[in-house]
Amino acid sequence: MKKIHTQTTTTHYALYSNCIEERTKHICFWGLLAFTTRRIYNNKILV
């Protein structure tokens, strides 16, 4: 019984950490995109 519980916990942890990793990539991507867009937008206003 304990072996099954450990296996389940490990699987849950793997899925959870994978979810965090995806979310972090997502935030980084959109943050970078917004930053780049803002820079281009500001440059167009200045020019």
Predicted TM-score (pTM) of the model is 0.47
**DSSP letter string, the chain:** -HHHHHHHHHHHHHHHHHHHHHHHHHHHHHHHHHHHHHHHHHHHHH-
| pLDDT tens, per residue, the chain with 47 residues | 567 677 778 888 888 888 888 888 888 899 999 999 988 888 876 66
Give the C-alpha separation, 29 to 16, whole Å: 20
> Rg of the Cα trace of the chain?
20
How confident is the model at residue 34, as a pLDDT?
92
